[in-house]
Amino acid sequence: MVDLLIVGGGIMGLWAAVMADRAGLNTVLVERDRIGAGASGGVLGALMPYMPDRWDAKKQFQFDALVSLEREIACLEAQTGMSTGYRRSGRLMPLPKPHLRTIALRHEQDALVNWRQGDRRFFWHVQDSPAADGWPENEAMASGVVLDTLAARVDPRLLLALLTTALGQSPRVRIEEGQSLVGLDPATGKARFSDGHSVSFGACILAAGVDTFLHLDGLQDKPAHEVQRRCRQGTGSGAESRYRPSFARHLHGWALCGAA
Ligand SMILES: Cc1cc2nc3c(=O)[nH]c(=O)nc-3n(C[C@H](O)[C@H](O)[C@H](O)COP(=O)(O)OP(=O)(O)OC[C@H]3O[C@@H](n4cnc5c(N)ncnc54)[C@H](O)[C@@H]3O)c2cc1C
Q: Which atom of ligand 1 is nearest to the CA of 8?
A: 34
pLDDT at 50: 96
Question: Cα–Cα distance between 52 and 14 in angstroms, integer?
Answer: 29
Residue 259 has pLDDT above 50, yes or no: no
Residues 127-166 have pLDDT tens digits of 999 888 888 999 999 999 999 999 999 999 999 999 999 9
Question: Cα–Cα distance between 12 and 173 in angstroms, integer?
Answer: 15
- Cα 10 to averaged position of ligand 1 atoms, centre (Å): 6
- Cα 225 to averaged position of ligand 1 atoms, centre (Å): 29
Q: Which atom of ligand 1 is nearest to the CA of 11?
A: 25
- Among residues 223, 227, 221, the alpha carbon closest in space to that of 245 is found at 227
Residues 205-233 have pLDDT tens digits of 999 998 888 887 777 655 555 555 555 54
Which sign, positive or negative, has the C-alpha torsion 94, 99, 104, 105? positive
- Cα 218 to averaged position of ligand 1 atoms, centre (Å): 21
27: Cβ–Cβ under 8 A, 6 or more apart, which residues?
2, 3, 4, 5, 6, 17, 20, 21, 172, 173, 174
Q: Which atom of ligand 1 is nearest to the CA of 209?
A: 27
- Cα 226 to averaged position of ligand 1 atoms, centre (Å): 29
Averaged confidence pLDDT in the chain? 87
- Among residues 96, 111, 139, the alpha carbon closest in space to that of 54 is found at 111
Q: Which atom of ligand 1 is nearest to the CA of 45?
A: 8
pLDDT at 237: 41
Q: Dump the DSSP string for 132-162.
A: BTTBS-TTTTTT-EEEESS-EE--HHHHHHH
Residues 241-253 have pLDDT tens digits of 444 444 444 444 4
pLDDT at 243: 41
- Cis previous bond, 171, omega within 30: no
- Among residues 217, 204, 188, the alpha carbon closest in space to that of 259 is found at 204
Q: Which atom of ligand 1 is nearest to the CA of 37?
A: 49
254 confidence band (pLDDT: 50, 70, 90): very low
Residues 80-89 have pLDDT tens digits of 999 999 999 9
Radius of gyration of the chain measured on its C-alpha atoms? 21
- Among residues 93, 90, 50, the alpha carbon closest in space to that of 70 is found at 90
The DSSP letter of residue 251 is T
DSSP H helical ranges for 81-154: 98-114
- Cα 19 to averaged position of ligand 1 atoms, centre (Å): 18
- Cα 205 to averaged position of ligand 1 atoms, centre (Å): 15
Kind plus residue range of the DSSP H or E element containing 229: helix 224-232
Question: Cα–Cα distance between 89 and 96 in angstroms, integer?
Answer: 22
Question: Cα–Cα distance between 215 and 81 in angstroms, integer?
Answer: 37
Do 120 and 66 touch, CB atoms closer than 8 A?
A: no
Do 50 and 66 touch, CB atoms closer than 8 A?
A: no
145-148 and 91-94 beta bridge pairing: antiparallel
Question: Helix or strand or coil: residue 10?
Answer: coil
Residue 91 has pLDDT above 80, yes or no: yes
pLDDT at 131: 85
Residues with CB under 6 A from ligand 1: 7-13, 30-33, 37-40, 42, 44-46, 180-181, 207-209, 211
Beta bridge partners of 30: 7, 176
- Model's pTM, two decimal places? 0.85
Residue 255 has pLDDT above 60, yes or no: no
Q: What is the mean pLDDT of residues 23-45?
A: 96
Among 31, 73, 205, 206, the mutation site with the greatest number of ligand 1 atoms within 8 A of its Cβ is 31
Q: Domains (ranges, CATH) in the chain?
A: 2-42+159-257 (3.50.50.60), 46-154 (no CATH)
Residues 96-125 have pLDDT tens digits of 999 999 999 999 999 999 999 999 999 999
Question: Cα–Cα distance between 72 and 88 in angstroms, integer?
Answer: 13
- Cα 209 to averaged position of ligand 1 atoms, centre (Å): 5
Residue 17 has pLDDT above 80, yes or no: yes
